[in-house]
């Protein structure tokens, strides 16, 4: 990116806006905190790169002890592998001839790849593509533990699918995975939710064992319940993604504050048509449309100005409303916004700055941005 070099050494207050800026100290603390938790509980951390899509940040996660990196799409796997990032887990039921060939290409290039799968229909052609090139991938059978998204519906179904998949040349069962996306916040029912998940996972592992299949990898996931992973002790791996930056939604779910959020989008007030409201140069094409349901509402938080609310977004316009009594805003003033959903936000940008003490230290190309295939 042409503008990159020129930005290093600049104060973040001098950056052209809108510009996402990572506080590197906060990000490194986030990486360290979950790495320590996982290490302390004997859980392997497999950070999901969907949040940052930046190989250099995946490298920091690996350096902090991660067992590997998780991605969703073959295009993301290609970007990571091309930058020396691995081993990889493609935690997505990829379907399509080009995808299967691209996965084969990544493995052929020397990066170990495991895949999560929940149907024989998706497994069989992938196995054929790999076998035809003399390659092999480990497979985790995805089990639905309550989110009702992807995943087979019972330990019996998981074992039956695992048995069929393990018989395919090109694929080898290594265990199971789940996404407990429904476990978040301070739910009354949390203990029974977690007990139910543990019961499903342990029963599946037992059945795989009886069937003579590998079951040493049991992958769980998600930032909202990451700190509860040890309460489902069958889980051996954790696929959290958002934890690296955190965002306003995660703050709404858990024991975090806006100070734990590593990424802010620096914006400029471009219009103050009348007292009490203003417009910033960040709309849905900068922050994403993601709404947070929680205290304050709105499309992003402004920690330095708690007296303002981003009440609506158009594509390039953020509508800012001032509390009564708030200090007025002027055209040219700057507001640093913590996005509601940082994964969706970063995916809109070609570059993200990394700063320390308010000075740009690195400019990251969001290399896997837009890799939807």
| Least Cβ distance, residue 191 to its own copies (angstroms) | 26
Instruction: Please state the closest distance from residue 212 (CB atom) to its own copies, in A.
Output: 26
Out of 37, 46, 92, 243, the only residue in the binding site for its own copies (CB under 8 A) is 92
Q: Which two tokens stand for residue 140?
A: 């985790």
Asked whether 83 and 55 are in contact (CB, 8 A), the reply is: yes
Residue of 36, 63, 350, 359 interacting with its own copies (CB under 8 A): 350
Contact with its own copies (CB under 8 A) among 72, 173, 183, 240 = 72
Residues 307-326 that bind its own copies (CB under 8 A): 314-317, 319
> Which tokens go with 131?
């076998």
Which of these, 192, 98, 181, lies nearest to 142 by C-alpha position?
Answer: 181
Distance CA 270, CA 220 (A): 44
Q: Which residues pair with 181 in a beta bridge?
A: none
Toward its own copies, which CB reaches closer, 205 or 344? 344
Considering the complex, state which of residue 31 and residue 287 has its C-beta at the smaller distance from its own copies.
Answer: 287
- Say if CB 69 and CB 80 are below 8 A apart: yes
Nearer to its own copies (CB atom), residue 19 or residue 238: 19
Question: DSSP labels for 157-175?
Answer: HHHHHHHHHHTSTTEEEEE
Instruction: State which of residues 118, 166, 247, 260 lies at the interface with its own copies (CB under 8 A).
Output: 118
Query: Which pair of structure tokens corresponds to residue 352?
Result: 């993200």
Residue of 169, 259, 289, 307 interacting with its own copies (CB under 8 A)? 289
Q: How far apart are CA 373 and CA 94, in angstroms?
A: 9
* Interaction between residue 239 and its own copies (CB under 8 A): no
- Determine, following the binding rule CB under 8 A, whether residue 129 of this chain makes contact with its own copies: no
Q: Which residues of 8-22 are buried (b: 16+ CB within 10 A; e: fewer)?
A: eebebeebebbbbbb
Taking contact as CB under 8 A, which single stretch among the options 107-115, 231-239, 273-281, 353-361 is the one that binds its own copies?
A: 273-281
Tell me if 269 contacts its own copies by CB under 8 A: yes
Q: Which is nearer to its own copies, 64 or 72 (CB)?
A: 72
The footprint of its own copies on this chain (CB under 8 A) covers a number of residues equal to: 64
Q: Reply yes or no: is the peptide bond before residue 5 cis, omega within 30 of 0.
A: no
Asked if 62 touches its own copies (CB under 8 A), the answer is: no
Using CB under 8 A as the binding rule, whether residue 148 contacts its own copies is answered as: yes
The correct pick among 12, 173, 348, 363 for binding its own copies (CB under 8 A) is 348
Contact 138, 114 (CB under 8 A): yes
CA 115/CA 222 separation, integer angstroms? 17
**Backbone angles phi and psi of 293, in degrees to 5:** -95, 110
For the CB of residue 348, give the shortest distance to its own copies in the complex, in Å. 6
| Beta strand extents in 118-209 (DSSP E only) | 137-142, 171-177
Residues that bind its own copies (CB under 8 A): 16-19, 50, 72-73, 92-99, 118-119, 121-122, 144, 148-153, 181, 268-274, 277, 279, 281-282, 284-286, 288-291, 314-317, 319, 330-332, 341, 343-344, 347-350, 369-370, 372-373
């Amino acid at each position: 990116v042409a503008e990159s070099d020129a930005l290093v050494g600049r104060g973040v207050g001098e950056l052209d806006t809108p510009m996402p800026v990572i506080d590197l100290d906060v990000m490194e603390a986030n990486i360290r905190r979950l790495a320590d938790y996982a290490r302390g509980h004997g859980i392997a951390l497999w950070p999901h790169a969907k949040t940052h899509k930046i190989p250099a940040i995946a490298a920091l996660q690996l350096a902090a002890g991660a067992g590997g990196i998780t991605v969703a799409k073959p295009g993301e796997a290609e970007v990571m592998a091309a930058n020396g990032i691995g081993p990889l887990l493609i935690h997505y039921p990829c379907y399509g001839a080009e995808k299967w060939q691209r996965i084969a290409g990544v493995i052929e290039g020397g990066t170990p790849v495991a895949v999560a799968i929940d149907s024989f229909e998706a497994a069989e052609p992938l196995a054929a593509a790999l076998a035809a090139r003399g390659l092999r991938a480990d497979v985790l059978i995805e089990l639905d533990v309550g989110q009702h998204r992807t995943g087979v519906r019972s330990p019996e179904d998981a074992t039956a699918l695992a048995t069929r998949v393990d018989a395919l040349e090109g694929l080898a069962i290594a265990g199971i995975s789940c996404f407990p996306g429904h476990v978040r916040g301070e739910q009354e029912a949390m203990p029974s939710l977690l007990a139910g998940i543990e019961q499903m996972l342990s029963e599946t592992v037992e059945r795989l064992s009886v069937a003579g299949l590998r079951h040493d990898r049991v992958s769980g996931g998600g930032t909202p319940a990451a700190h509860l992973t040890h309460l489902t002790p069958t889980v051996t791996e954790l696929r959290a993604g958002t934890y690296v930056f955190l965002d306003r939604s995660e703050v709404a779910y858990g024991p975090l504050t806006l100070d734990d959020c590593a990424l802010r989008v620096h914006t400029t007030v471009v219009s103050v048509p009348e007292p009490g409201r203003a417009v910033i140069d960040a709309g849905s094409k900068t922050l994403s449309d993601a709404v947070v349901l929680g205290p304050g509402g709105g499309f992003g938080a402004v920690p330095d100005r708690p007296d303002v609310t981003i009440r609506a977004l158009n594509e390039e316009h953020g509508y800012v409303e001032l509390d009564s009594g708030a200090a007025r805003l002027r055209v040219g003033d700057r507001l640093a916004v913590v996005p509601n959903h940082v994964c969706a936000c970063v995916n809109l940008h070609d570059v993200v700055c990394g700063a320390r003490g308010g000075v740009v230290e690195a400019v990251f190309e969001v290399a896997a941005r837009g890799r939807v295939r």
